[in-house]
Protein backbone atom coordinates (compact mmCIF):
# COMPACT_ATOMS: atom_id res chain seq x y z
CA UNK A 1 0.00 0.00 0.00
CA UNK A 2 1.30 3.46 -0.82
CA UNK A 3 -0.94 5.31 1.61
CA UNK A 4 -3.34 6.65 -1.03
CA UNK A 5 -7.01 5.83 -1.08
CA UNK A 6 -7.63 3.05 -3.63
CA UNK A 7 -10.01 3.77 -6.46
CA UNK A 8 -12.92 1.32 -6.39
CA UNK A 9 -13.07 -0.84 -9.49
CA UNK A 10 -16.90 -0.79 -9.58
CA UNK A 11 -19.01 2.29 -8.83
CA UNK A 12 -21.57 2.21 -6.08
CA UNK A 13 -25.24 2.16 -6.99
CA UNK A 14 -25.81 5.22 -9.12
CA UNK A 15 -27.36 8.20 -7.39
CA UNK A 16 -30.40 9.58 -9.21
CA UNK A 17 -29.90 12.90 -7.45
CA UNK A 18 -26.37 13.29 -8.76
CA UNK A 19 -26.73 12.28 -12.39
CA UNK A 20 -29.72 11.60 -14.56
CA UNK A 21 -29.92 7.83 -15.17
CA UNK A 22 -30.17 6.10 -18.49
CA UNK A 23 -33.23 4.05 -19.42
CA UNK A 24 -31.28 0.89 -18.68
CA UNK A 25 -30.31 2.11 -15.23
CA UNK A 26 -33.94 2.95 -14.45
CA UNK A 27 -34.96 -0.55 -15.51
CA UNK A 28 -32.28 -2.08 -13.29
CA UNK A 29 -33.33 0.00 -10.32
CA UNK A 30 -37.04 -0.79 -10.73
CA UNK A 31 -36.29 -4.48 -11.12
CA UNK A 32 -34.37 -4.47 -7.84
CA UNK A 33 -36.71 -2.37 -5.72
CA UNK A 34 -39.86 -1.32 -7.60
CA UNK A 35 -40.99 2.17 -8.63
CA UNK A 36 -40.59 3.53 -5.10
CA UNK A 37 -36.84 3.49 -5.69
CA UNK A 38 -37.26 6.29 -8.25
CA UNK A 39 -36.79 8.86 -5.51
CA UNK A 40 -35.96 11.63 -7.96
CA UNK A 41 -39.21 11.21 -9.90
CA UNK A 42 -41.34 14.34 -9.69
CA UNK A 43 -44.96 13.94 -8.64
CA UNK A 44 -47.32 16.39 -10.29
CA UNK A 45 -50.94 17.39 -9.87
CA UNK A 46 -52.05 14.54 -12.17
CA UNK A 47 -50.57 12.14 -9.56
CA UNK A 48 -48.14 10.67 -12.09
CA UNK A 49 -44.40 10.38 -11.43
CA UNK A 50 -42.08 11.91 -13.99
CA UNK A 51 -38.57 10.49 -14.08
CA UNK A 52 -35.98 12.28 -16.20
CA UNK A 53 -33.66 9.91 -18.05
CA UNK A 54 -30.69 10.24 -20.38
CA UNK A 55 -31.13 8.69 -23.81
CA UNK A 56 -28.15 7.50 -25.81
CA UNK A 57 -30.05 7.66 -29.10
CA UNK A 58 -33.19 9.43 -30.26
CA UNK A 59 -33.82 7.83 -33.64
CA UNK A 60 -35.07 4.27 -33.30
CA UNK A 61 -34.73 1.91 -36.26
CA UNK A 62 -37.76 -0.32 -36.92
CA UNK A 63 -38.68 -3.04 -39.38
CA UNK A 64 -41.94 -4.17 -40.95
CA UNK A 65 -43.47 -0.69 -41.04
CA UNK A 66 -43.97 1.83 -43.87
CA UNK A 67 -41.11 3.84 -42.33
CA UNK A 68 -37.70 2.90 -40.92
CA UNK A 69 -37.30 5.40 -38.09
CA UNK A 70 -39.34 6.48 -35.07
CA UNK A 71 -39.05 9.17 -32.40
CA UNK A 72 -40.54 8.98 -28.90
CA UNK A 73 -39.41 11.68 -26.46
CA UNK A 74 -41.46 10.16 -23.62
CA UNK A 75 -42.27 6.63 -22.50
CA UNK A 76 -45.55 5.94 -20.75
CA UNK A 77 -48.61 8.13 -21.22
CA UNK A 78 -51.07 9.82 -18.88
CA UNK A 79 -53.81 9.56 -21.50
CA UNK A 80 -54.27 6.08 -20.00
CA UNK A 81 -56.24 4.66 -22.93
CA UNK A 82 -57.26 1.13 -21.98
CA UNK A 83 -56.62 -0.26 -25.47
CA UNK A 84 -53.22 1.36 -26.03
CA UNK A 85 -50.86 -1.01 -27.86
CA UNK A 86 -47.86 0.77 -26.31
CA UNK A 87 -48.70 -0.50 -22.82
CA UNK A 88 -46.73 -3.65 -23.53
CA UNK A 89 -43.56 -1.63 -24.24
CA UNK A 90 -43.39 -0.41 -20.64
CA UNK A 91 -42.23 -3.88 -19.62
CA UNK A 92 -38.93 -3.09 -21.38
CA UNK A 93 -38.17 -0.86 -18.40
CA UNK A 94 -39.37 -3.38 -15.78
CA UNK A 95 -42.58 -1.33 -15.40
CA UNK A 96 -45.98 -2.96 -15.71
CA UNK A 97 -48.43 -2.35 -18.54
CA UNK A 98 -51.26 -1.62 -16.12
CA UNK A 99 -51.30 1.43 -13.82
CA UNK A 100 -47.57 2.14 -14.13
CA UNK A 101 -47.94 2.80 -17.86
CA UNK A 102 -50.02 5.90 -17.10
CA UNK A 103 -48.49 6.85 -13.75
CA UNK A 104 -44.72 6.51 -14.32
CA UNK A 105 -43.58 8.62 -17.26
CA UNK A 106 -39.98 8.56 -18.45
CA UNK A 107 -38.82 11.89 -19.87
CA UNK A 108 -35.77 11.83 -22.16
CA UNK A 109 -34.53 15.26 -21.14
CA UNK A 110 -31.54 15.30 -23.54
CA UNK A 111 -33.65 14.03 -26.46
CA UNK A 112 -33.40 17.08 -28.72
CA UNK A 113 -29.64 17.41 -28.27
CA UNK A 114 -29.10 13.77 -29.19
CA UNK A 115 -31.48 14.00 -32.16
CA UNK A 116 -29.69 17.02 -33.60
CA UNK A 117 -26.41 15.17 -33.42
CA UNK A 118 -27.87 12.13 -35.18
CA UNK A 119 -29.50 14.20 -37.92
CA UNK A 120 -26.22 16.02 -38.55
CA UNK A 121 -24.34 12.76 -39.11
CA UNK A 122 -23.10 12.30 -42.71
CA UNK A 123 -24.79 8.89 -42.88
CA UNK A 124 -28.24 10.34 -42.27
CA UNK A 125 -30.16 10.30 -45.56
CA UNK A 126 -33.31 12.22 -44.61
CA UNK A 127 -35.56 9.20 -44.43
CA UNK A 128 -39.15 9.42 -43.22
CA UNK A 129 -39.45 9.65 -39.42
CA UNK A 130 -42.59 8.73 -37.49
CA UNK A 131 -43.21 10.59 -34.22
CA UNK A 132 -45.41 9.16 -31.48
CA UNK A 133 -45.42 5.45 -32.22
CA UNK A 134 -44.95 4.27 -28.61
CA UNK A 135 -46.30 7.19 -26.58
CA UNK A 136 -48.22 10.40 -27.25
CA UNK A 137 -45.77 13.22 -28.06
CA UNK A 138 -48.36 15.80 -26.97
CA UNK A 139 -49.41 14.38 -23.63
CA UNK A 140 -49.67 17.19 -21.03
CA UNK A 141 -46.03 17.05 -19.83
CA UNK A 142 -44.96 18.30 -23.28
CA UNK A 143 -46.19 21.71 -22.14
CA UNK A 144 -43.27 21.83 -19.71
CA UNK A 145 -40.47 20.04 -21.55
CA UNK A 146 -41.26 21.00 -25.17
CA UNK A 147 -39.26 18.03 -26.44
CA UNK A 148 -41.64 17.33 -29.32
CA UNK A 149 -41.42 20.91 -30.49
CA UNK A 150 -37.63 20.77 -30.28
CA UNK A 151 -37.63 17.54 -32.28
CA UNK A 152 -39.74 19.10 -35.06
CA UNK A 153 -37.38 22.08 -35.17
CA UNK A 154 -34.43 19.69 -35.50
CA UNK A 155 -36.16 17.77 -38.31
CA UNK A 156 -36.89 21.04 -40.09
CA UNK A 157 -33.25 22.10 -39.86
CA UNK A 158 -32.25 18.71 -41.27
CA UNK A 159 -34.95 18.82 -44.00
CA UNK A 160 -36.22 15.43 -42.86
CA UNK A 161 -39.83 14.39 -43.64
CA UNK A 162 -41.98 13.33 -40.70
CA UNK A 163 -45.40 12.08 -39.69
CA UNK A 164 -46.90 12.55 -36.25
CA UNK A 165 -49.71 10.81 -34.37
CA UNK A 166 -51.36 12.35 -31.32
CA UNK A 167 -54.52 12.70 -29.28
CA UNK A 168 -53.26 15.98 -27.82
CA UNK A 169 -54.81 19.27 -28.99
CA UNK A 170 -51.57 20.90 -27.79
CA UNK A 171 -50.28 20.11 -31.28
CA UNK A 172 -51.83 23.39 -32.47
CA UNK A 173 -49.24 25.23 -30.37
CA UNK A 174 -46.65 24.06 -32.89
CA UNK A 175 -48.42 25.13 -36.07
CA UNK A 176 -45.50 27.39 -36.90
CA UNK A 177 -42.82 24.68 -36.78
CA UNK A 178 -45.06 22.11 -38.46
CA UNK A 179 -45.67 24.58 -41.28
CA UNK A 180 -41.93 25.26 -41.50
CA UNK A 181 -41.24 21.54 -41.78
CA UNK A 182 -43.92 21.22 -44.45
CA UNK A 183 -42.14 23.88 -46.49
CA UNK A 184 -38.82 22.02 -46.62
CA UNK A 185 -39.93 18.37 -46.43
CA UNK A 186 -43.12 16.32 -46.11
CA UNK A 187 -45.13 16.63 -42.91
CA UNK A 188 -48.41 14.90 -42.05
CA UNK A 189 -50.27 15.08 -38.74
CA UNK A 190 -52.63 12.28 -37.75
CA UNK A 191 -55.04 13.15 -34.96
CA UNK A 192 -56.43 10.05 -33.28
CA UNK A 193 -60.20 10.26 -32.81
CA UNK A 194 -61.53 6.70 -32.58
CA UNK A 195 -65.08 7.89 -31.92
CA UNK A 196 -67.10 10.97 -31.01
CA UNK A 197 -69.43 8.88 -28.86
CA UNK A 198 -69.06 10.32 -25.37
CA UNK A 199 -69.84 7.13 -23.48
CA UNK A 200 -67.14 5.23 -25.36
CA UNK A 201 -64.68 8.10 -24.98
CA UNK A 202 -65.18 8.31 -21.22
CA UNK A 203 -64.87 4.55 -20.81
CA UNK A 204 -61.85 3.94 -23.03
CA UNK A 205 -59.76 7.15 -22.97
CA UNK A 206 -59.98 8.54 -19.43
CA UNK A 207 -57.05 10.95 -19.71
CA UNK A 208 -57.63 12.42 -23.16
CA UNK A 209 -59.18 15.65 -24.40
CA UNK A 210 -62.77 15.58 -25.66
CA UNK A 211 -63.03 14.18 -29.22
CA UNK A 212 -64.49 17.44 -30.54
CA UNK A 213 -61.57 19.37 -29.06
CA UNK A 214 -59.25 17.12 -31.04
CA UNK A 215 -61.29 17.69 -34.19
CA UNK A 216 -61.04 21.45 -33.66
CA UNK A 217 -57.27 20.95 -33.61
CA UNK A 218 -57.55 19.25 -37.02
CA UNK A 219 -59.44 22.27 -38.35
CA UNK A 220 -56.80 24.67 -36.97
CA UNK A 221 -53.96 22.69 -38.55
CA UNK A 222 -55.64 22.40 -41.94
CA UNK A 223 -56.45 26.12 -41.89
CA UNK A 224 -52.75 26.75 -41.23
CA UNK A 225 -51.87 24.84 -44.40
CA UNK A 226 -50.71 21.63 -42.72
CA UNK A 227 -51.67 18.22 -44.11
CA UNK A 228 -53.75 16.94 -41.20
CA UNK A 229 -56.41 14.26 -40.90
CA UNK A 230 -57.87 11.70 -38.55
CA UNK A 231 -57.18 8.11 -37.60
CA UNK A 232 -60.22 6.30 -36.22
CA UNK A 233 -57.89 4.01 -34.39
CA UNK A 234 -58.74 1.83 -32.80
CA UNK A 235 -62.38 1.05 -33.39
CA UNK A 236 -63.28 -1.06 -30.36
CA UNK A 237 -65.93 -3.76 -30.86
CA UNK A 238 -69.04 -3.15 -28.80
CA UNK A 239 -67.92 0.31 -27.71
CA UNK A 240 -67.51 2.29 -30.94
CA UNK A 241 -68.27 -0.16 -33.75
CA UNK A 242 -72.03 0.37 -34.17
CA UNK A 243 -72.98 1.81 -37.56
CA UNK A 244 -74.64 4.86 -35.98
CA UNK A 245 -71.48 5.65 -33.98
CA UNK A 246 -69.23 5.17 -37.00
CA UNK A 247 -71.42 7.49 -39.06
CA UNK A 248 -71.50 10.24 -36.44
CA UNK A 249 -67.74 10.05 -36.19
CA UNK A 250 -67.04 10.18 -39.92
CA UNK A 251 -69.52 13.05 -40.35
CA UNK A 252 -67.86 15.02 -37.55
CA UNK A 253 -64.45 14.40 -39.13
CA UNK A 254 -65.71 15.64 -42.49
CA UNK A 255 -67.37 18.68 -40.89
CA UNK A 256 -64.06 19.71 -39.33
CA UNK A 257 -62.23 19.76 -42.65
CA UNK A 258 -59.90 16.79 -42.22
CA UNK A 259 -57.81 16.07 -45.30
CA UNK A 260 -58.21 12.31 -44.85
CA UNK A 261 -59.53 9.62 -42.53
CA UNK A 262 -58.20 6.13 -41.90
CA UNK A 263 -59.29 3.41 -39.53
CA UNK A 264 -58.19 0.22 -37.84
CA UNK A 265 -59.80 -2.27 -35.48
CA UNK A 266 -58.33 -2.86 -32.02
CA UNK A 267 -55.89 -5.70 -31.53
CA UNK A 268 -54.75 -7.11 -28.18
CA UNK A 269 -51.24 -8.33 -27.48
CA UNK A 270 -49.20 -9.17 -24.41
CA UNK A 271 -49.53 -6.57 -21.64
CA UNK A 272 -52.22 -4.65 -23.47
CA UNK A 273 -54.41 -7.73 -23.59
CA UNK A 274 -53.96 -8.34 -19.88
CA UNK A 275 -54.82 -4.75 -19.01
CA UNK A 276 -57.84 -4.58 -21.31
CA UNK A 277 -59.31 -7.84 -20.06
CA UNK A 278 -58.84 -6.68 -16.46
CA UNK A 279 -60.59 -3.43 -17.36
CA UNK A 280 -63.53 -5.39 -18.80
CA UNK A 281 -63.71 -7.72 -15.81
CA UNK A 282 -63.82 -4.74 -13.48
CA UNK A 283 -66.16 -2.37 -15.34
CA UNK A 284 -67.97 -4.44 -17.99
CA UNK A 285 -67.96 -8.07 -16.79
CA UNK A 286 -70.92 -8.98 -19.01
CA UNK A 287 -68.75 -8.26 -22.07
CA UNK A 288 -65.83 -10.44 -21.04
CA UNK A 289 -67.05 -13.73 -22.60
CA UNK A 290 -67.79 -12.02 -25.92
CA UNK A 291 -64.33 -10.44 -26.07
CA UNK A 292 -62.66 -13.72 -25.15
CA UNK A 293 -64.37 -15.32 -28.15
CA UNK A 294 -63.71 -12.42 -30.53
CA UNK A 295 -60.08 -12.13 -29.42
CA UNK A 296 -59.17 -15.78 -29.24
CA UNK A 297 -56.06 -14.61 -31.09
CA UNK A 298 -54.23 -11.30 -31.27
CA UNK A 299 -56.57 -9.97 -33.95
CA UNK A 300 -60.32 -10.42 -34.31
CA UNK A 301 -61.39 -12.56 -37.31
CA UNK A 302 -60.57 -11.12 -40.72
CA UNK A 303 -64.23 -11.11 -41.69
CA UNK A 304 -65.05 -8.83 -38.76
CA UNK A 305 -62.24 -6.37 -39.56
CA UNK A 306 -63.25 -6.26 -43.22
CA UNK A 307 -66.86 -5.59 -42.32
CA UNK A 308 -65.95 -2.65 -40.09
CA UNK A 309 -63.53 -1.17 -42.62
CA UNK A 310 -66.05 -1.59 -45.44
CA UNK A 311 -68.59 0.39 -43.43
CA UNK A 312 -66.10 3.19 -42.82
CA UNK A 313 -65.22 3.23 -46.52
CA UNK A 314 -68.90 3.56 -47.40
CA UNK A 315 -69.22 6.48 -44.99
CA UNK A 316 -66.11 8.11 -46.47
CA UNK A 317 -67.88 8.08 -49.83
CA UNK A 318 -71.10 9.40 -48.33
CA UNK A 319 -69.37 12.38 -46.73
CA UNK A 320 -66.98 12.92 -49.63
CA UNK A 321 -63.86 12.31 -47.62
CA UNK A 322 -62.14 10.39 -50.41
CA UNK A 323 -62.21 13.40 -52.72
CA UNK A 324 -60.20 15.69 -50.45
CA UNK A 325 -56.71 14.30 -51.07
CA UNK A 326 -54.54 13.10 -53.89
CA UNK A 327 -54.04 9.38 -54.41
CA UNK A 328 -50.59 9.51 -52.80
CA UNK A 329 -51.99 11.26 -49.72
CA UNK A 330 -54.77 8.68 -49.42
CA UNK A 331 -52.22 5.90 -49.62
CA UNK A 332 -50.21 7.57 -46.89
CA UNK A 333 -53.27 7.99 -44.66
CA UNK A 334 -54.26 4.34 -44.95
CA UNK A 335 -50.86 2.70 -45.10
CA UNK A 336 -48.15 5.18 -44.31
CA UNK A 337 -49.27 6.32 -40.88
CA UNK A 338 -47.65 4.89 -37.80
CA UNK A 339 -49.89 1.87 -37.37
CA UNK A 340 -51.03 0.97 -33.90
CA UNK A 341 -53.88 -1.42 -34.57
CA UNK A 342 -54.81 -4.26 -36.93
Most confident of 17-31, 92-106, 160-174: 160-174
Residue 98: Cβ within 10 Å count:
15
Q: 37-43 — which CB contacts under 8 Å span 24+ positions?
A: 38/104, 40/16, 41/104
At residue 17, the pLDDT reads 45
The share of the chain scoring above pLDDT 90, in percent, equals 67
CB 249 within 8 A of CB 193: yes
Q: Report the DSSP beta bridge partners of residue 163.
A: 130, 188
Picking from 218-227, 281-290, 301-310, 315-324, which range would have the lowest pLDDT averaged per residue?
A: 315-324
The share of the chain scoring above pLDDT 70, in percent, equals 77
Instruction: Look at residues 254, 257, 256, 248 and name the one whose alpha carbon lies nearest to residue 213.
Output: 256
Which band of pLDDT confidence, cut at 50, 70 and 90, is reported for residue 330?
very low
Query: Would the pLDDT of 335 be above 60?
Result: no
Most confident of 16-20, 73-77, 247-251: 247-251
At residue 200, the pLDDT reads 98
54 CB burial (10 A radius; 0-12, 13-18, 19+): middle
At residue 325, the pLDDT reads 56
Picking from 76-80, 225-229, 313-317, which range would have the lowest pLDDT averaged per residue?
A: 76-80
Instruction: Look at residues 104, 175, 18, 100 and name the one whose alpha carbon lies nearest to residue 164.
Output: 175
Mean pLDDT computed over 27-38: 54
- Secondary structure (3-state) at 251: helix
Query: Would the pLDDT of 35 be above 60?
Result: no
Beta strands in 144-270 (DSSP E): 162-166, 187-192, 227-235, 261-265
- Between 135 and 324, the more confident residue is 135
Query: Would the pLDDT of 42 be above 70?
Result: no
CA-to-CA dists, residue 142 to 107, 164, 171, 202, angstroms: 10, 14, 10, 23
Give the model confidence (pLDDT) of 233-282 as tens digits.
999 999 999 999 999 999 999 999 999 999 999 999 888 999 999 999 99
B/e letters for 310-323, b = 16+ CB within 10 Å, e = fewer, are ebbbebbeebebee
Query: Would the pLDDT of 319 be above 80?
Result: yes
CA-to-CA dists, residue 111 to 57, 224, 248, angstroms: 8, 27, 39
- The pTM of the full predicted model, rounded to 2 decimals, is 0.84
Angstrom distance (rounded) from CA 211 to CA 67: 28
Instruction: Spell out the domains of the chain, with CATH numbers in brackets.
Output: 23-336 (3.20.20.70)
Residue 141: Cβ within 10 Å count:
22
Amino acid sequence: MNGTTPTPREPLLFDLGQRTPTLRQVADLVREGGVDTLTDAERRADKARYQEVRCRSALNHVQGMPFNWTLNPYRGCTHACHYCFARRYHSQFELDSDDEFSSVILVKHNFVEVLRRELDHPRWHREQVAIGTATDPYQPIEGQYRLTRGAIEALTHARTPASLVTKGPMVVRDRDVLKALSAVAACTVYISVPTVDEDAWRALEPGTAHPLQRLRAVRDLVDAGINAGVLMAPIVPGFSSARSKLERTVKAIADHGARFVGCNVMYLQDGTRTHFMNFLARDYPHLTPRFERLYAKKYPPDAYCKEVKAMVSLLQDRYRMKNRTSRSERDEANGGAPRAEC
